Amino acid sequence: MTQRGVTILGATGSIGENTVDLIARAPDRFRAVALTGGRNIARLAEQARVLNAEIAVTAFPDLLDDLRAALSGSGIEAGAGEAALLEAAERPADLIVSGIVGAAGLPPGLRALRQGTTLALANKESLVCAGPLMMSEAAAHGARILPVDSEHSAVFQALVGEEVSAVERIIITASGGAFRDWPLESLASATLEEASSHPNWDMGQRITIDSASMFNKALELIETREFFGIDPARIETIIHPESLIHALVGFRDGALMAHVGPPDMRHAIGYALNWPDRLDIPVARLDLAQVGSLNFRAPCEQRYPALRLAREVMAARAMAGPVFNAAKERALDHFIAGRIRFTEMAALVEDVLASISSDSAFRADVTLDNVRNADQMARQAADAWLSVQAH
């Protein structure tokens, strides 16, 4: 078996840690090329030493000396700042895992595609912001994108050996997040702590809060549209509180193929790392007799306005994706900082989308510059929204 060189963008995050865990368990199969992280220098250096990576890079230029010191004597190179991050994505590797959170994952993701390699993509925001650009860049350079988001990995697996033309619908499951059973009138007073605990999955704080608001599911619907190129009318969401079925694909003959497994991201990550092979992955095996029953219910759009907004974004495309994503990222910053209530996140995003949709920039082509511009406009509008509310 040939050894695969793997780069992990966002190695110190939740997706990154799970990837490091899988790679550390299979040293015959994988070797680490570049690892990137943020402010957690101690952890980044530790990962680089454990995996004997070629280089470790922090996104923050002021932390270069700290990283160098933490790596001293190891022979591992250190890098810092945006250019170093892009260089890490360009360093030849068989597989690049993108576990960066937010729109910041787009530029390194594009660089990774340019080397014509395989990008295992957890960073759904890059597809939401620039799906057509990511897909065309992949095609132009003979690169492949493998989904790492559990739902999209599930759909991808259900499609093996199938023609996309045979697909009637894709059903993305949702746990419903922390507040699925709360009375609607209590949502406005939900605290940060309450929003930061997920009923089934152990993930980074931002995606966990996005699960409570279902902004995460909104991003995933758009991700489905962009990745599989399917008509949004054929994409459905269903609440499935157990989080054991990750997605279903419905075919034109009426068959539904469901992907079933425990809520452990190491499955989807491991599938991408080993693709097209299937090798042992240390996730728990489901005991269906113990599971007993699986439940489903339709999502309530009053509880989850983000789902309605996702439909609008999928219909508009162009800059709707980056505006939606950036407004959502700022709304989340404001909620985490205690500046707005939980329910105000959707109100803010809806207002920002409405205010920018009349601007001609909203209909611009999906280029990196236009996406950056739309992203900036939306962040400014999100901050302006805050000051208007305060008066």
Give the annotated binding-site residues.
12-15, 38-40, 123-125, 149-151, 175, 198, 204, 211, 216-217, 220
| CA pair distance 336, 206, nearest whole angstrom | 9
Q: Are 106 and 368 within 8 A, CB to CB?
A: yes
| CA pair distance 157, 264, nearest whole angstrom | 16
38 three-state secondary structure: coil
Neighbour tally for 93: CB within 10 Å = 24
Q: Which of 149, 226, 329, 351 binds Mg ion (CB under 5 A)?
A: 149
| Nearest residue (CB) to ligand NAD, 177 versus 362 | 177
| Cα-based distances in Å from 124 to 43, 216, 234, 263 | 24, 9, 20, 18
- 329 near Mg ion, judged by CB under 5 A: no
| Nearest residue (CB) to ligand NAD, 38 versus 176 | 38
Q: Which residues are annotated as a binding site for NADPH?
A: 12-15, 38-40, 123, 125, 204
Measured from the CB of residue 147, what is the shortest distance to Mg ion in angstroms?
9
The rounded Cα 108 to chain-centroid distance in angstroms is 14
| Nearest residue (CB) to ligand NAD, 85 versus 96 | 85
| CA pair distance 151, 163, nearest whole angstrom | 19
**Which string of DSSP letters, residue by residue, matches 350-381?**
HHHHHHHHTSGGGG----HHHHHHHHHHHHHH
**Which string of DSSP letters, residue by residue, matches 254-322?**
S-EEEEE--S-HHHHHHHHHHTTS-----PPPP-HHHH-----BPPPTTT-HHHHHHHHHHHH-TTHHH
| Nearest residue (CB) to ligand NAD, 104 versus 340 | 104
| Nearest residue (CB) to ligand NAD, 16 versus 250 | 16
- The item of ligand NAD, Mg ion, none sharing an interface with residue 19, based on CB under 5 to 8 Å by kind, is none
Q: Which of 132, 130, 124 has the alpha carbon at shortest distance from 323?
A: 130
- The pairing of beta strand 245-251 with beta strand 256-260: antiparallel
Q: Which stretch binds Mg ion (CB under 5 A): 90-98, 143-151, 165-173, 221-229?
A: 143-151
Measured from the CB of residue 259, what is the shortest distance to Mg ion in angstroms?
12
- The item of ligand NAD, Mg ion, none sharing an interface with residue 124, based on CB under 5 to 8 Å by kind, is ligand NAD
For ligand NAD, the binding residues (CB under 6 A) are: 10-16, 37-38, 59, 85, 99-101, 104, 122-125, 149-150, 201, 203-204, 206-207, 265
Give the nearest residue (CB) to Mg ion: 149
| Nearest residue (CB) to ligand NAD, 206 versus 379 | 206
Q: Which stretch binds Mg ion (CB under 5 A): 128-136, 142-150, 301-309, 374-382?
A: 142-150
Residues near Mg ion, by CB under 5 A: 149-151
